[in-house]
Amino acid sequence: MPAVFRHADRRLVANRVLATLLVAAVAGSLLLPFAAMAPNRLVSGESVALVAALSPWQTLVLLGLALVLGVACLARPLGEHRGARTALIAAPLALLVVLYGLGDYATRALADASPAARVSQGAAFWVAVFCCALMMVDAFQRLRTPLWLCSIYALVVLGGIVALFAAGTFDALAIMQEYFNIEDAFAAQFVTHLVLVGLALGPALVVGLPLGLLAHRRPGARGPLFGVLNFFQTIPSIALFALLVTPLSRLGDALPWLREWGVSGIGAAPAIIALIMYSLLPIVRNTHAGFAGVAPATLEAASGMGMTATQVLWRVEIPLALPVILSGLRIVTVQAIGLTVVAALIGAGGLGAFIFQGLGQYAIDLVLLGAVPTIALAVVADFLLQILVTVSRPAGAR
C-alpha cells in the first residue's frame, strides 16, 4: 500500500478547519453569554448562557448536530469529502436552530416581563453563527462546488432564514424592536444607501474605465495617474468627507443653480464625490491589469489579420480583460457599501445614520440595526459580482 494511504489512515482528523471551527463554536457557546436580558433599551443587560436560554429539545438537537459535525471532521468513517457533504447539511441546520432558539428565548423571556424589557443577542450567538457560516464556506471549497450549485444552496439557506423572519420568530428581539420603531425610516435609509453606492459607482466606472485604458496605452501617464489615485486612497475617509465640506459649500454659495441640484457642503454631494475618489483606484488598476494581461501575440495576430483598432478593442481586448475589470468592480462595490456608512456623518443618510444615532444614544441594538444589514448587503453584492466575474470569463478560459 502506498505510503500516502497509510499516512491518511493513521490520521485522526481529516478536516482540521472544520474541527477548529467546531471547537470554537462549542467553546464560545458555552463560555460566552448567548443572550442578554435588560430592563430597558439603554442599560446593558444581564447575561444568559446558551444552556439556560435554549429549551431542552433545542439543546439536544444542537448537541446532536455538534456530534455529527465532530464525526464529519474525522478521517474515518466518512473521510474528507463525505465529511464536507455532511457538514453542508449539519451546519445550516445548527445555524437555523441557533437563530430559532434565540428568537424563541426572547419571546418566552418577554412574555412575563415589563414592556420596556429587552432581549438582545450575545457573543456566543455571533460566534455560533459565524462558525456555522465558515463551515459551509470551507465545505464548498473542499468539494470545489461549481458556483451555480453554491448559489442554489445559499438561496435555500437564505430562504430558511427569511422564513424565520416571516414567521415572526425574531419579533421579540431588541434589534427587531428598534426596527419596528423606525420601520419607514429604515426602508428610506436603506434605499438611500443603495442610491449613494450607485451614484458613486456609475461615475467612477465612466471615468475609471477610460483612465484604465489610458494607463495601458500610455505608459507615461501611468506613474502620475496611479500616484494621484493612490494619494486619494491614503486619505482617511472621515478626513476626506470633512475636507470636501468647505469647498463644496463655497461652490454651492457661488453657483445657486448647483445648490438647486443638491450640491452643498453637507449631504449627498460630498459623500458621492469622496466615494468616487476612493473607487477610482481599484477600477483603474484592474482595468489596466486586465488590458495588460491580454497576450501580445493575440494582439499581433488580431491586427495582423486586418482588424481595425476599434475591432481589436471590442472583439479581443475588452472580452479578455472583462473578468479582471469586473473583479475591480467587485472590490469597489464592497468598499463603497462600507464607506457609505461613514458618509452618514456628513448628513448623507444611509444605514450609517442608525449606527451613529445608536452610538449617540448608547443603544447598541440600534447600532446593530445599521451594521448587520450593511454587512449583509456587502456579502450579497460580493457574491453576485463573483457570479458575474465567473460568467464573464471566456468559455475557453473558464
Partner 1 sequence: MIELQGLTKTYDDKDVVQDISLRIESGEFGVLIGPSGCGKSTTLRMINRLIPLTRGRILLGDEDISHLKPETLRRRIGYAIQSIGLFPHWTVADNIAVVPRLLKWPKSRIDARIDELLDLFHLAAGEFRDKYPHQLSGGQAQRVGVARALAADPEVLLMDEPFGAVDPLTREVLQNEMRRVHERTRKTIVFVTHDMDEALKLASRIAILNAGRLVQYDRPIELLTQPADAFVSDFIGKADLGLKLLSRRWVNQYQDRARTTPDAASGRPSHYWETDATGRPTCLHGGRLSDGDPEARTAVNDEWIATPGMPMKEALSRMVWYRVMVLPVIDESGRLIGEVSMDGVMGRQP
Is the Cβ of residue 231 or residue 314 nearer to partner 1 in the bound state? 314
Query: Which residues, 133 to 192, sit near partner 1 by CB under 8 A?
Result: none
Identify the CA nearest to 37 among candidates 155, 178, 172, 218. 172
Is the Cβ of residue 6 or residue 398 nearer to partner 1 in the bound state? 398
Is the Cβ of residue 176 or residue 321 nearer to partner 1 in the bound state? 321
Q: Are 94 and 131 in contact (CB under 8 A)?
A: no
First to last CA, the chain: 36
Region at 362 (left for phi over 0; alpha for psi -120 to 50; beta for the rest):
left
Provide the grid cell at 124.
Answer: 456566543
Q: Mask of contacts with partner 1, 291-330, x by CB under 8 A?
A: ----x-xxxxxxxxxxxx--x----x--xx----------
Q: Mask of contacts with partner 1, 366-385, x by CB under 8 A?
A: --------------------
Least gap, CB of 209 to partner 1 (angstroms): 19
Is the Cβ of residue 159 or residue 319 nearer to partner 1 in the bound state? 319
Region at 306 (left for phi over 0; alpha for psi -120 to 50; beta for the rest):
left
Burial category of 190 from C-beta neighbours within 10 Å (exposed 0-12, middle 13-18, buried 19 and up):
middle
Least gap, CB of 298 to partner 1 (angstroms): 5
Least gap, CB of 392 to partner 1 (angstroms): 10
What does the alpha-carbon distance between residue 240 and residue 343 come to, in Å, rounded to a whole number? Answer: 10
Is the Cβ of residue 172 or residue 326 nearer to partner 1 in the bound state? 326
Phi and psi at 2, nearest 5°, equal: -60, 150
Residue 396 as a binder of partner 1 (CB under 8 A): the answer is yes
Is the Cβ of residue 299 or residue 313 nearer to partner 1 in the bound state? 299
What does the alpha-carbon distance between residue 135 and residue 94 come to, in Å, rounded to a whole number? Answer: 11
How many C-beta neighbours within 10 Å does residue 13 have? Answer: 14
Is the backbone peptide bond immediately before 319 cis, with ω within 30 degrees of 0?
no
Is the Cβ of residue 201 or residue 302 nearer to partner 1 in the bound state? 302
Least gap, CB of 321 to partner 1 (angstroms): 11
Query: Which residues, 15 to 34, sit near partner 1 by CB under 8 A?
Result: none
Q: Which residues bind partner 1 (CB under 8 A)?
A: 295, 297-308, 311, 316, 319-320, 394-397
